[in-house]
Chains A and B, each alone.
Chain A
Amino acid sequence: ETGVTQSPTHLIKTRGQQVTLRCSSQSGHNTVSWYQQALGQGPQFIFQYYREEENGRGNFPPRFSGLQFPNYSSELNVNALELDDSALYLCASSHSLAGRETQYFGPGTRLLVL
């Protein structure tokens, strides 16, 4: 067990709706990264948060946004859901900026968009 938790575990939404996913980082970790994993694929980097600021972003549109709170927990928000947003969303926490430390992953949230 990594100590990284995510909620909810499963979620069903319809196209056009908005969703918020939550992540609590491992104790002592100040950096949170979010990844999207489509079925049968490897995870794709969405963005990373460090000290409440987004400090890196992958190739995802602006309707994917996030927050990090003073306790280093984080939220991923997706607006105007599309069918292709159906995926496993993984959160990872690490000890420092720039990812020199290993990223430890939570169990993920499975999102289904109908």
Chain B
Amino acid sequence: AQKVTQAQTEISVVEKEDVTLDCVYETRDTTYYLFWYKQPPSGELVFLIRRNSFDEQNEISGRYSWNFQKSTSSFNFTITASQVVDSAVYFCALLKLGTSYGKLTFGQGTILTVHP
């Protein structure tokens, strides 16, 4: 069985602070994808990034960066110089490869509030 744990239920920061959202996953599979999605108050899940299990290279995209460590089964997400518009619920998700269908397993989400 697969499981995704986001231990931080809520994080509150002041604008311009850096913030890291933690994600730990469990799977017996050797090949899989990991995702981060953002859910603003409107409800739509917005895709941020996808990483496959073969590639542990960290990635930076503007103010966002991701740290994937297979040895610790973690896929953490950092926002540098946070802004009020970053306020949302952030979900980490796992997708198993090799099956006939694509089922995303989500964590419980982390509510990020950025204060001005």
Contact = CB atoms under 8 A, between A and B. Distances in A.
Contacts of A43: 45, 91, 104, 106
Contacts of A33: 102-104
A48 B102 contact: yes
A97 B106 contact: no
A42 B103 contact: no
Interface in B99-116: 99-109
A107 B103 contact: no
Contacts of B37: 105
A102 B47 contact: yes
Given A105-B45, A107-B44, A108-B43, A97 B108 contact: no
B108 to A, nearest CB: 5
A100 B97 contact: yes
Residue from the set B4, B102, B104 with the largest chain A CB neighbour count within 10 Å: B102
Interface residues of A, number: 31
**Chain B interface size range:** 20 to 34
Contact of A98 (B43, B46, B47, B101): B101
Residue from the set A50, A94, A103, A110 with the largest chain B CB neighbour count within 10 Å: A103
B45 A56 contact: no
A98 B44 contact: no
Contacts of A106: 44
Given A33-B103, A102-B47, A105-B37, 14 more contacts: A33-B102, A42-B106, A42-B108, A42-B109, A43-B106, A45-B103, A56-B99, A56-B100, A98-B97, A98-B100, A102-B50, A103-B104, A104-B47, A107-B42
Interface of A: 2, 31, 33, 35, 40-45, 48, 50, 55-56, 58, 88, 90, 92, 94, 97-100, 102-108, 110
23 contacts: A2-B47, A43-B45, A45-B104, A45-B105, A48-B101, A48-B102, A48-B103, A55-B100, A55-B101, A56-B99, A88-B43, A97-B100, A97-B101, A97-B102, A98-B99, A99-B95, A99-B101, A99-B103, A100-B97, A102-B50, A103-B47, A108-B43, A108-B44
